[in-house]
Structure formats: structure tokens, C-alpha cells
Amino acid sequence: MFETQQGTLVIIGGSEDKEGECVILRRFVSLASGTRTGAGGSARIVIVTAATNQSQAVGETYSRVFKRLGAGEARVLDVANRQEANAAATYETVAGASGIFFTGGDQLRITSLLGGTKCDEALHDAYRAGAVIAGTSAGASVMSETMIVEGEDSEAARRNIVQMAPGIGLIREVVIDQHFAQRGRLGRLLTAVAGHPHMLGVGIDEDTAIVVRPDDIFEVIGSQAVTVIDGTQIRESNISESGPRAPLALTNVILHILPAGYRFDKKQRLLLLPEGADRAGRQ
């Protein structure tokens, strides 16, 4: 399934600017305008509010922002239960969008409401057809195959500080965390990578996002930074032997801090410097 996908992901760390230059949301609208409607065409955006219990207010806020940024259409899809998620009209709404946006809230609400439904099928069909899929906060975490459901902030890496569950699977071999620097989540992302060292840990700060292209290269945009944790070269780990509250031992973890303009090839685990620089670095 992944090899045939042609869409773009915009994965946002939460609390993105909605009133100023709106760098991240403007990029999403721009990408959605050129995806299936052609250059200069109007974006057809569907705002999925399944993560929040304040769907009307949250949906209306994003609808106003996207229309102000030039979207031709920005409609709210409030899926209240799995019956609605399985409705033919829901499939048609999602499959026909050029941009699909997941709001923040609770990522487990998204997977429990949409997983295995016609809405979920439409999402993947739209992505394979070239749609842009974006998500902020909980809507960011849910993008991966395996997601962080909850965990303790501002804690050292310990075996029991993070809980994980299946996500919607738009990006593989990556685990996403959001509100990253602002909530002190390095310890819990390190713990997630220690338990799944084949997965790239990506911690996204607020008002910051990664734009993931079909070639598996992502670019950092926004005002803060993205922390990338590569565990494939870990030499020593005690996660299987340590007690639940004992600190983890991890050696030779590769860590990158990437502000706007930096890119990363997640397939090759290759850091790419901002365009215009004359070198690239590989760890």
C-alpha cells in the first residue's frame, strides 16, 4: 500500500499560528490547491473533527482560517459515531477532497471512531490519489502506524512513561510526538524509540510542522524546531531488563535538532541541509 501512495503529509506540532502569517496553514492550503485541482486551482478542504468534543467551535475556526487563506471550499466533517463513519456520504466527502485536515483533541478518538470504516478507506484512497493530509496535535500523532497515546511529560526516559497503540498508518517506521519542547517530551519519545528502534522518532514543537513528500523526504517549516531521534545505531539498551520506574540506559542514539528549512530523508536516515547550502550530512 505504501509504495503506491502519492499524497503529501503536513504534520503539525500543535498551537499553529491562525491569525498572523499562518505559514503552516497557508502551506497546507497552497498544497491542496495544486494537488488535484491544478496549479492555481481552489483547494477543497475537509476538516475532520473526530478528535475533539468541541467539534462545532473547532471546525468553524479552521473553516474561517482556510477560507481566508484562499481555499475554495472548507467544510467540516463531524463524525459522531462509527455508523456515520461508514456512511456512503462520508466516503464521498473525504474521497473528493484535495486537502483533509485533522484537528487536535484525543488521537484515540480518531482511531476508535474511524478505524476500519468507509471514512478510513476514503482517507487512504484520497492519499493514494494525491490529496494532502494534515493533522495538528492529536491529529499529528495519529498519522503513523504506531502512535503515542499518552505519556508523562518532563520525565527522564523510563519504560513505563509512554503508552502506544495503532494509528491510521499514513506514514510508516516513524513515531510522532507533538507540543514537543513546550511540554518536555524528550524522555517519552526516547522511550518510544528504545522500544521500537527501527522507527524514527520525530518530536515536533508548537507552531512547527514537517511536510512529508511522496519520496519520503520531509521539510521543516514554522517558527520552532523538530527533534529527530534515530535509534538504529543504538549499542546498549536495558529497556527489557529495567524496572518500570528505573531510568533507561541508551547509548549511541543519534539526535538531530532541525529548524525551518532543514530536510530529512527518512528512508535513508540522511540529513539534508537547507537549500542553497553546499553540503549534506549523513550520520
Catalytic site residues? 137, 155, 179
The string of DSSP codes covering 98-165 is SEEEE-SS-HHHHHHHHTTSHHHHHHHHHHHTT-EEEEETHHHHTTBSEEEEEE-TT---BTTSEEEE
The counts of H helices and E strands in the chain are 8, 16
DSSP secondary structure code for residue 167 in this structure: -
How would you list the strands of the sheet with 132-136, edge to edge? 73-77, 44-48, 99-102, 132-136, 8-12, 208-212, 217-222, 263-265, 270-272, 281-282
Helix 118-128 / helix 107-114 crossing angle, nearest 10 deg: 100
* Distance (Å, whole) CA 105 – CA 136: 9
Cα maximum dimension of the chain: 57
Q: Within 10 A of 244 (CB to CB), how many other CB atoms are there?
A: 8
